């Protein structure tokens, strides 16, 4: 049997993904309903949640945002994805997730809570990159802040060009 090579729309359809506010597409695949919730400073949360997350040529950027929780990322399929992390001290870390482990691309990436994260699809033959994320304590919109371009630039002016590329222009 010849396996057809999926395109971005095939992946969206097959995994029933919807648009994410950060950019890209997602679907929650798991939340720990059967376990006691975890108390956090912002309220009770699931112990763990998980999503599929997809970037495509049409929606290639997961914009800078801040999460309270730790997030584990697992690369599945497609082209490599570049992660830009701005730490509390203003330092920038750039990492690439992808399947080319001999070129030091990462299959797993741990992003600790309390930092700014953005992601960007790199050029490649597939036109999409698919990962999963596991979030603990579980994801809640109350724990996530989308970056305001002006505020984040004022906080980290040395990263102005990158922040412009990886945030929305809200005018
Ligand atoms: N980012 C990481 N996990 C989630 C989730 O469960 N929902 C949403 N909307 N975004 C996420």
The answer to the question of residue 2 being in a domain is: no
- Given this model, what pLDDT does residue 57 score? 98
Which are the contacts of 166, defined by CB distance < 8 A and separation ≥ 6? 61, 63, 64, 84, 118, 120
Mean pLDDT of 75-92: 97
Is 3 inside a domain boundary?
no
CA angle 131, 136, 138 (to 5 degrees): 90
| Any ligand 1 atom below 6 A from CB of 48 | no
Q: What is the pLDDT of residues 110-124, one digit of tens each?
A: 999 999 999 999 999
What is the H or E stretch that residue 165 is in? helix 160-165
Does the beta carbon of 22 lie inside 6 Å of ligand 1? no
Whether residue 153 lies inside any domain: the answer is: yes
> For 88-144, how does the pLDDT look when each residue is reduced to its tens digit (9 = 90+)?
999 999 999 999 999 999 999 999 999 999 999 999 999 999 999 999 999 999 999
139 Cβ inside 6 Å of ligand 1: yes
Q: How far is Cα 93 from Cα 84, in angstroms, rounded to an integer?
A: 6
**CA 139 / ligand 1 centre spacing (Å):** 6
State which residues form the domain around 73: 8-106+115-165
pTM for the model stands at: 0.96
Would you state the pLDDT for residue 1?
Answer: 66
């Amino acid at each position: 049997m010849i396996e057809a090579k999926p395109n971005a729309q095939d992946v969206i359809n097959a995994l029933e993904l919807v648009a994410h506010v950060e950019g890209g597409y997602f679907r929650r695949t798991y939340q720990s309903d059967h376990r006691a919730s975890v108390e956090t400073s912002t309220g009770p949360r699931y112990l763990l949640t998980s999503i599929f997350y997809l970037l495509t040529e049409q929606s290639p950027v997961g914009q800078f945002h801040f999460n309270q929780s730790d997030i584990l990322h697992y690369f599945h399929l497609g082209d490599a994805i570049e992660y830009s992390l701005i730490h509390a001290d203003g330092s920038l870390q750039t990492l690439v997730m992808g399947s080319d482990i001999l070129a030091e691309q990462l299959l797993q990436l741990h992003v600790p809570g309390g930092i700014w994260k953005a992601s960007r699809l790199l050029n490649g033959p597939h036109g999409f990159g698919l990962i999963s994320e596991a979030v603990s304590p579980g994801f809640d919109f109350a724990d996530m802040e989308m970056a305001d371009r002006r505020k984040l630039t004022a906080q980290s002016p040395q990263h102005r060009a990158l922040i412009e590329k990886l945030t929305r222009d809200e005018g």
